Amino acid sequence: MPELDVNGTRLFYQQSGTGPDVVLVHAVTSNQAVWMFAGLVDALTEHYRVTSYDLRGHGASDRPKSGYTSAAMASDFAELHKGLGLGPAVLLGHSFGGVVSMHAAVEFPEAVRGVILSDSFFPGLKHIEPNFGKMTIWNDLRDTFAKVGVDLGDTVDFTRLFRTTASLSAENYKTLEDIYGAFGRGWLRQLPQLAETNCGDEVLEVAGLTEERISGITRPVIALYDEFSPFLATCEWLKQHLAACSVEIIPNAKHLALVENTPAFTDAVLRHLKTITEG
């Protein structure tokens, strides 16, 4: 299994294709399989060398107790980048993966050619984002967990989600497994494992990625936000404050455009990658 030890943590990665480097950075509670299942890896490898990896604590990577801030994970990226001998890469980050990517653009600009964000919320921009905590996807989760008599609360709280899942009875866990189905079972399985870590709290820390530092990013940034995203205020802020930011709205999606509207998402990524790498 391809893996690399970065910052004392073993990260599982996959690499395929040839061409300019593209690195795929998934969201909290996800893993790199999401890119493969959507067919995005195959779509990109015709033109790019694509590296995807599991963030620490996720997928097949190690699960240390701490190191889950965007700063720590940007450092993981930089070490992975160095260890694999990649050239300046375009980072495609979904949700928190976009935060890690932007943090990498701040701290390790030599490793980052550009960033494509997908529906990211930035803890450092919480004050301009009225919809944090009111995410539809969280409401969906809350409603589903309510079916087994569990209250997740009204506001996004990953730690509560992880600990709640870890303390579910076998019967309630099985009920949720049946609700989420075969494809969602792996996602559910990961939640109690993350309860053993500080991930839930640390991913919501500003961790140095302040408003000022985000606005200082000079690398090209493509902000792909979903039509029904809870974070459209963030999208507008990025467009107004970044030196080189283009915005595109992905229709018929509410936070998971990669899955909810795969053709439009893939098309947008391919077009913008071409612009960044040939521009």
Partner 1 sequence: MKDQILNDLDAVVAETWPDRDFPPVDLESKAFADLGLASIDLVVLAERLEKRYAKKLPFGAFLKTLRDRGADDVSIGDLVTFLERHA
Residues that bind partner 1 (CB under 8 A): 1-2, 12, 14, 16, 31-34, 36-43, 54, 59-60, 181-183, 185-187, 189-190, 262
CB–CB of 215/122 below 8 Å?
A: no
Smallest separation (angstroms) from partner 1 to the CB of 73 = 18
Q: Which is nearer to partner 1, 54 or 129 (CB)?
A: 54
Of 16 and 210, nearer to partner 1 (C-beta) is 16
Alpha helices for the chain (secondary structure H)? 33-37, 40-45, 70-83, 96-107, 136-146, 158-166, 170-194, 199-202, 211-215, 232-241, 257-260, 262-278
Nearest to partner 1 of 12, 237 (CB atom): 12
Closest CA to 49 of 96, 84, 3: 84
If the CB atoms of residues 33 and 233 are measured against partner 1, the closer one turns out to be 33
Work out how close the CB of 1 gets to partner 1 at its nearest, in angstroms, rounded to a whole number: 6
Q: Residue-wise over 177-191: b if at least 16 C-beta within 10 A, else e?
A: eeeeeeeeeeebebb
79 vs 93: CA distance, rounded Å: 17
Least distance CB 146 / partner 1 (angstroms): 23
Which residues is 225 bridged to in the sheet?
249
Nearer to partner 1, 39 or 83 (CB): 39
Direct distance between the N- and C-terminal alpha carbons of the chain, in angstroms, rounded to an integer: 35
Nearest distance in Å: CB 43, partner 1: 8
Least distance in Å: CB of 259 to partner 1?
Answer: 9
